[in-house]
Amino acid sequence: MFFNLLSKFIGWLKKLFHIVLNSFRRVQPEDSPGQVSSDLHGVNPEETTPSTEEHNDEAPTNEGEREQEPEEKKPPPEPTTEKDLGKRKKSNRSKQPTGSAKVDTNKLKVQAEKDSLVRIQSPYIELDLDKAKVFLVIPEQQFETNAETNIPKELHYKLEINGNIEDIPAKVSSINIATVEEKRIELTQPLNKFKITYPNELQGRVYSYQHPYEILYPFIAIGNNRGRMYYLYDKDGNMNPLPKKFVWILLDESFEVPDVDIIEERWIWERYQPLNINLKNNEELIIRNRQTGEEKKIPCEPSFFIECDALIEDDFKDISPLITGKWIKIVAPRENPSGWIVEVQNKQVGWKSWTEEKSLELKLPDDLPCECGEFQVNIFDKEDGNPVETLFFRYVPSLQLKFPRDLIVPDPNKGHKEETIEILFGEDFQDWELKHEKTIKYENIENGYKIELPPQQDVIHFSLMKKGKRKTETRVKITIPRLKWRTSKSETWHDRPIQIRRDELITGEDFYLTVCTNDFDTQYDLLAILETTSEKLQEAKFKQKGRYYNLLLNQFYDTIKENNDKISLRMEIRKVKDNEVLGQTEVIHLPEVAQEGSKDTLLRRNIRPNVKGGNGRFRIGKGFSKKEVKEAGISMGRIKNGRIKINNCCIPVDKRRKSVYSENVKILKSLMGGM
């Protein structure tokens, strides 16, 4: 009897506690991500299982009767203010951070996840470069329920996008806590504006954004060939400065960024191409209209960044540095009198958050949600709760990675060889495991692992994880800087000389040699040297596009057709920084011409028109104009794919040129006369 009375009393106390706690949560600022106070939330999934004791307290008594409790009435949803995702607080940019605030763990209030279950996140726009698609992402959400509440199986978001209204259903699961699934909506047209209303269970929040300038869409790189859209405008049309960091730009085909090249032909929304640009040292980004030459300047400003005492550089270093030391510092670009809310989150575990006015220094691993792994840093303005910045970092204590970092020039006879990657841990190396691609070879060594990367594989992905602790999984990507090359007529990369035939050199058809260094950080000066066994014939420099270097082989055609000897193209590699010669290697060779008749064929294949350039001088043109073709008496119907085939010779046609030169008409007539 006494035990039953005690159980009822404890049950009533718990209910009273939850009612008070719910009332407290309702008065928190709307966009505080579980946090506005300097509360620190260390979340452990093992601690979030349903409490069986609470249900037992409400079980029927020995007499088989259930106590009837007054039903708690839910207050109506509070009116929600629409959140403009592009709004940025105007600040005095001349102010710089004067110091850093170290975390005093004695002042941090720790709470388990069961004491703070509301987890509502704003939507965002994501660029997926692998799929060449753009998505509106509504993140996974969590909301609080109690035993008396019927958890809905589905919630509905209201989405207004580019003038269209959609209902977005999302499934709700109730394992441990009520969780709403992530929704990804593909955007098949350029974004003009969107507004999304959350259901009442998610506080009925409303988020909106307007993008009036459809020429350019910036995205912050977040790894895995993805980017998250940077909101460039507020609802009044005011432009926000771009952050000084690596960004992806979706740029309309009618515009260009000076001195930045398109790395590869990839189209999004039919007329936009992605550019990867480093704005770290830029004061502005210049966009130029290809037709008019008119320029638009977008200012750049410093952004939050991470400092640390020790890190390892891999392919993700600019997006998510791999930290191995004892502290990190989250540095603000300026002081904020109202303070910053800094939230460090691990997706598998939970988050911790602080409120600071200055830069924030964290001790590792004490101030992290878990002992190691991948982390996301969300930074909010304390005054209005607006998101300001998102950073990423990884933490693996005492890790060492040993692999070749200098450019590797292949042996001209054997090509590249296997390269070794060593993964070394500290004293606890036995606690770590390696997750890797099934095709790679590896072995256990003292304090770690050794991987052998074959010559045909330059890139490797693997993960490091504490045994049995998925929350600590940390992804790593390494690219070995092996020098390789290919022509525009092949997709295969080579590490030994390529043989090409003279009849592959067709005038009017661009023929490129592309060299890949697999080195993202070092700039190289590549020189092509065309030569025979006895003399040097011609030189030309490669043009850089990212980590690729291109050479137009057409410029060597006249020299090649005048020589019947064996010809080779040798490449000299220098570092731009100190002009140091790193090596030379043969990349192409053309065999000796056996018969003189082959030279005549080559001459006929390399027929090009003469056109007048901007300086008034004549030069070799891309192709004959349509008017020249017509005056030569050649049917326009014979033009196929920009060429006319005459006497087994492909004659290029330049559809854009309108001019007519009598010399070019005579060349075409002479070819027709030989039919």
Residue 74 has pLDDT above 50, yes or no: no
How many residues are recorded in the chain? Answer: 675
CA pair distance 588, 529, nearest whole angstrom: 10
481-487: average pLDDT: 95
CA pair distance 509, 434, nearest whole angstrom: 49
551-579: average pLDDT: 91
Residue 241: band (very low, low, confident or very high) from pLDDT cuts 50, 70, 90: very high
291-305: average pLDDT: 93
Q: What is the pTM of this model?
A: 0.67
Name the residue type at position 332: A
Q: 274-278, 297-301, 462-466, 483-487 — which is least confidently predicted? A: 274-278
404-411: average pLDDT: 95
Q: Give the pLDDT confidence score for residue 538 in this predicted structure.
A: 95
225-250: average pLDDT: 91
Cβ–Cβ under 8 Å, residues 566 and 589: yes
Q: Is 295 exposed, middle or buried (0-12, 13-18, 19+ CB in 10 A)?
A: exposed
The class that CATH gives domain 484-598 is mainly beta
Residue 507: band (very low, low, confident or very high) from pLDDT cuts 50, 70, 90: confident
Residue 397: band (very low, low, confident or very high) from pLDDT cuts 50, 70, 90: very high
In this predicted model, what pLDDT tens digit does every residue of 426-458 receive, in sequence order? 888 899 999 987 778 889 998 999 999 999 999
In this predicted model, what pLDDT tens digit does every residue of 106-134 receive, in sequence order? 443 333 333 345 668 889 999 998 889 99
CA pair distance 654, 615, nearest whole angstrom: 20
Number of neighbours of residue 405 by Cβ within 10 angstroms: 13
Residue 462 has pLDDT above 90, yes or no: yes
Residue 13: band (very low, low, confident or very high) from pLDDT cuts 50, 70, 90: low
Cβ–Cβ under 8 Å, residues 469 and 369: no
Q: What does each C-alpha distance from 183 to 117, 131, 153, 159, 204 come to in angstroms?
A: 20, 17, 15, 12, 17
Nearest to 475 by CA among 511, 515, 419, 435: 435
First to last CA, the chain: 115
CA pair distance 439, 460, nearest whole angstrom: 10
Q: 338-342, 374-378, 447-451, 475-479 — which is least confidently predicted? A: 338-342
- Give the residue extent of every domain in the chain: 82-89+114-243+245-301, 400-479, 484-598, 609-673
Give 9 or 59, the one with higher predicted confidence: 9
Name the strands in the sheet holding 484-487, side by side, starting at the edge strand that comes first in the sequence.
Answer: 484-487, 512-516, 548-552, 543-545
Nearest to 34 by CA among 107, 101, 111, 88: 111
pLDDT averaged over every residue in the chain: 80
Matching residue, tokens 């098949």: 188
* Pairing, β 548-552 against β 164-173: unpaired
Q: 76-80, 253-257, 548-552 — which is least confidently predicted? A: 76-80
Q: Give the pLDDT confidence score for residue 387 in this predicted structure.
A: 78
* Contacts with 586 (C-beta within 8 Å, 6 or more apart), sequence order: 412, 497, 568, 569, 570, 571
Nearest to 610 by CA among 628, 635, 591, 634: 628
Q: Give the pLDDT confidence score for residue 606 in this predicted structure.
A: 59
